[in-house]
Amino acid sequence: MPTLRDVGELEAIRLLTRGAGRADVIVGPGDDAAVLRCDPGEDLVATTDALVEGRHFLPAWLAPAERGARLAAVNLSDLAAMAARPRWALLSVGARAEHEMDALLEFQSGLAASLATEGAVVAGGNLAAVRGDEWWSLTLLGSVARGRAWTRAGARPGDLLALTGRPGRAGAGLALATRDARAAGDDGRRGGTPDARAAGDEAWRPLLDAWLRPRARVAFALALAPAGAVKAAIDVSDGLACDLARLCDASTVGCDVDERHLPADPLLERAAATLGIPAATLRFGPSDDYELLLAIEPGRRDACERVARETETPLAFVGRFTSRRGELSLVAEDGARSPIDPRGFDHFAGGR
């Protein structure tokens, strides 16, 4: 099978960036830079995120197309958290010369398809040769009505905390999979289908999928933006507690999370029991779910719930922001308050 070495840099870049033809791409891949047409009255929103082999994925755990989809999702989620419409991406890849072209094209298909679902195209790229671990870095550009981007900084005491999906699932999936992989003495590099193995019980699949195949909440964010209900937003890329703490920090508020209103998640609870840890540790701890945390103006709750129904997005109102700056509390049914540990995940502080 042909490899990158056989095909060459330029042809590989051409293949990695194909399909960018559309009206807002004035000059696409193949020139020194891409020329893109913004609309008057819009701001540009830009983010960058990367996947690194051996760190964010192991080849045996994610097929190339899934890796592309994941790279799209982690960047799309950042734009969702700003209420921005995804439009253009620039792809920077470090790949080994012996990388098979078929795998590269599958990656490209997965990336392009996931971006296309949310309206974005790859408008440019770069390909560098590496000797060791491969990496895939994407810069995603989007647009938003001028001055209307959501930020982390707008929450006020009294605003409601709303939550899409069921954060904690991705971390639970990772914990289950790596535990089983360790038990099997396999670091994931030797092939096989770790999902099935990790499963033992196929019932874990929703948790494994939450980790391996996240979907960004772009459609929900774009549908919700016109309601003017969102005061602040962040995506859950490091864990519910960690990202809530960041939003509170940026907004100089605190937050009471109401235990009763957290979305029920029996599967997560079963995973916690299997792993021998409290469910709350999974729910609040390190987990890259790419769900949204939102600060909602109290009077607009109904509008949000309507948009959630219309876009089939699970949305729960789980708490309220307070003036107790930096204080995150879990409030039990009996009114007892306990602090939430805002620890997240630091890539440099040792593995999880």
Chain residues 180-239 in contact with a second copy, contact rule CB under 8 A: 233-235
User: Distance (Å, rounded) from C-alpha 317 to C-alpha 84?
Assistant: 23
Q: Which stretch in 25-33, 57-65, 181-189, 207-215 sits in contact with a second copy by CB under 8 A?
A: 25-33
Q: How far is the CB of 280 from a second copy (least distance, A)?
A: 24
Tell me: does residue 319 bind a second copy (CB under 8 A).
Answer: no
Tell me: does residue 352 bind a second copy (CB under 8 A).
Answer: no
Q: What is the 3-state secondary structure (H, E, C) of 307-352?
A: HHHHCCCCEEEEEEEECCCCCEEEECCCCCEEECCCCCCCCCCCCC
Q: How far is the CB of 9 from a second copy (least distance, A)?
A: 5
Displacement of CA 171 from its chain's centroid (Å): 12
Q: Among residues 40 and 335, whose Cβ is nearest to a second copy?
A: 40
H/E stretch holding 128 reads strand 121-129
The DSSP code for 286 is: B
Choice from 1, 21, 23, 32 touching a second copy (CB under 8 A):
32
Choice from 18, 19, 48, 60 touching a second copy (CB under 8 A):
48
Tell me: does residue 240 bind a second copy (CB under 8 A).
Answer: no
Paired residues of 43 in beta bridges = 144
Q: Which stretch in 31-39, 182-190, 202-210, 331-339 sits in contact with a second copy by CB under 8 A?
A: 31-39
Q: Which stretch in 1-9, 105-113, 185-193, 199-207 sits in contact with a second copy by CB under 8 A?
A: 1-9
In Å, how far are 172, 188, 203 from 184, measured between CA atoms? 18, 10, 19
Only one residue has tokens 């990367």, namely 50
Q: Which stretch in 30-38, 61-69, 165-173, 304-312 sits in contact with a second copy by CB under 8 A?
A: 30-38
